[in-house]
Amino acid sequence: QKEVEQNSGPLSVPEGAIASLNCTYSDRGSQSFFWYRQYSGKSPELIMFIYSNGDKEDGRFTAQLNKASQYVSLLIRDSQPSDSATYLCAVRAGGTSYGKLTFGQGTILTVHP
Amino acid sequence: ETGVTQSPTHLIKTRGQQVTLRCSSQSGHNTVSWYQQALGQGPQFIFQYYREEENGRGNFPPRFSGLQFPNYSSELNVNALELDDSALYLCASNQIGGPSTDTQYFGPGTRLTVL
């Protein structure tokens, strides 16, 4: 079992729709959860982080965390063609391993006009 | 732009050679982590430097080594390059002890090609 798994893509949604990206993790001691966006040929860009169970909203983005189910998701409302990118889920384990983020393989999202 | 810079942008080496990649952390950040991202994969943690010492290491052989300097900038050195070392090398910085202590911001990366 991979430490961090993301829903297989690619995911294609029409402009204006809600895109739903999912991620599961295996380490129950994981403390912090991050979503990064990566455009082709570029480096990952932080979108959101979440530490506590529940929802966290930032503009069109909502991160959802369920530690009991070891599940984190990202919803993108009113999807735009500029949202087309690879979305990476990253997890930090508990303890003092501040630096080590474990990433999923990424989900490619395409928003078509 | 995150304020994390890396050099060079691109690099081509041949198998067996050695390479040094450089990273300057974002202002106010005291920690640098290095990641390797192969094509189509998520980044893989190589190691982290904090207070000029290695503060955690991923599953990479000893020929991957690093340094952190007093100004918090960092180097990644790879000896005896192999074809599989071809990848995007990412540097990320964060501020241990800060308000979002483990939130990492990535530099633009160095694309290494080994022939």
User: Residue A97: pLDDT above 60?
Assistant: no
Distance from CA of B63 to the nearest CA of A (A): 19
What are the backbone angles phi and psi of residue A82, rounded to the nearest 5°? -70, -10
pLDDT at B110 over 90: yes
The mean pLDDT of B86-112, rounded to a whole number, is 88
Q: Among partner residues B50, B103, B107, which is closest to A46 by beta-carbon distance?
A: B103
pLDDT at A98: 60
Q: Please, which pLDDT band fits residue B95 given cuts at 50, 70 and 90? A: confident
Residue-wise pLDDT for A55-72, tens only, equals 999 999 999 999 999 999
Both tokens of B43, joined, read 């980044």
Calculate mean pLDDT across residues B8-25.
Answer: 97
3-state secondary structure chain A: CCCEEECCCCEEEECCCCEEEEEEECCCCCCEEEEEEECCCCCCEEEEEECCCEEEEECCEEEEEECCCCEEEEEECCCCHHHCEEEEEEEECCCCCCCCEEECCCEEEEEEC
Dump pLDDT digits (tens) for B18-62.
999 999 998 888 899 999 999 999 999 999 998 899 988 999 999
Question: What is each CA distance from A43 to A46, A88, B80, in whole angstroms?
Answer: 10, 11, 26
Specify the pLDDT at position A29. 86
A45 to chain B, closest Cα gap in Å = 7
CB-nearest partner of A103 from B42, B88, B107: B42
| End-to-end Cα distance, chain B | 31
The answer to whether the Cβ–Cβ distance between A99 and B109 falls below 8 Å is no
Task: Identify the band that residue A23 occupies on the pLDDT scale cut at 50, 70 and 90.
Answer: very high
Query: Which of A36, A43, A58, A108 best tests the B interface by mutation, with the highest count of B CBs <10 A?
Result: A43
DSSP one-letter code for B26: P
* Alpha-carbon gap, residue B65 to B84, rounded angstroms: 17
Residue A74 has pLDDT above 60, yes or no: yes
Size of interface A-B (CB pairs under 8 A): 73
* Nearest residue in A to B56, CA atom: A97
Least confident of A1-5, A29-33, A34-38: A1-5
> Which member of B42, B100, B104 has the closest CB to residue A106?
B42
